[in-house]
Amino acid sequence: MIVVTGAAGFIGSVLAVRLLEADYRQVVLVDDFSVEPKRPNHERLPVTARVDRADFPSWLRENEGQVQFIFHLGARTDTTERNQDLLNELNLEYSKEVWNLCVEFGLPLVYASSAATYGDGSLGYLDSHEVVTQLQPLNPYGRSKNDFDAWALAQERKPYFWAGFKFFNVYGPNEFHKGRMASVVLHTFRQVQATGAMKLFRSHRPDYADGHQTRDFVHVEDLCSVLLHFMHHRIPANSGLYNLGSGKGRTFLDLAKATFHAMGKEPNISFIDTPEDIRDTYQYFTEADLTKLRASGYTAPFRSLEDGIDDYVKNHLVTGETRAPREASAESA
């Protein structure tokens, strides 16, 4: 069995679909399945079991002999969350429990870290283990992710294969439920549909023009391809932390224009002040250094921002469709 935690959410549900498409016949989803807006992401998936996240540790103890691999993607992902106790519970202590169970039962583990660990980028965006304890994330969410990375690296006992991926700005299908935390692609699409225009955040730094704040945007399908590659190539020597972005920073202006074009409309873009509750912790530039990922043996290209947005808009946002399994391939487990 392949386990995916956070499976009712954005990335976890798409990864579950990809596993089903590859004809993995025993997929177990772990999450809080009571969240109604997430239901379309998972309710029709033909999986082996759905396990409540609170019950997962005991379930794993009972079923560890049948489990082949664990993708731990479940977390509190709201970057504006200020409840440190909640972040510690879900992003740190729960992840420690999953890690320790993987050590105990000899299970390989891939987990989700975040580019938010890099803070303002003053130490760069190199996924070196040596800099982890020096990083200064800008918000409690980023700190919770970095705290777990640092804890994992400090452990004497580790899963025989493990990888923590620092996700950059992910976009694509199955993020309909994310509200304020949804990608700017989805926000742009909805604003253009409602008003014919898009309002981006104004720059509050003199070294960045309005709309030229830059992020590394990565399509969720490309991200899942990397995760699946590491499941297939679980080489102990390749264990560690990795950046997972496209490797190319693009501006929010580029993103908005690409969304307008995918919708068949001329860009109509203006600027508003960045909300005060995130202004002081706002990242103005991120770009994944993929040297380590490429050296591990992952060679597939990442789609361009324009191609990714065109697919997302035309095949999901216009139709309102979640990512459902396509015809399965011959690959199986």
Active site residues: 141, 178
Comparing CA positions, the residue from 64, 67, 74 lying closest to residue 7 is 74
- How many angstroms from the chain centroid is the CA of residue 228? 14
Quick check: 207 and 285 in contact, CB under 8 A?
no
Q: Which two tokens stand for residue 207?
A: 């070294």
Tell me the longest C-alpha to C-alpha distance in the chain. 57
The C-alpha atoms of residue 264 and residue 261 are separated, in whole angstroms, by 5
Helices (H), the chain: 10-21, 39-42, 56-63, 84-87, 94-105, 140-154, 184-195, 220-232, 252-262, 276-279, 291-295, 305-312
Partners of 241 in the β-ladder? 164
Q: Which two tokens stand for residue 111?
A: 């987990």
Q: How far is CA 274 from CA 83, 117, 267, 278, 281, in A?
A: 22, 21, 21, 7, 11
The C-alpha atoms of residue 190 and residue 317 are separated, in whole angstroms, by 9
- The amino acid that residue 312 corresponds to is Y
The C-alpha atoms of residue 50 and residue 28 are separated, in whole angstroms, by 6
SS3 at position 158: coil
Instruction: Dihedral sign for Cα 319, 259, 139, 226, please.
Output: positive
Quick check: 196 and 264 in contact, CB under 8 A?
no
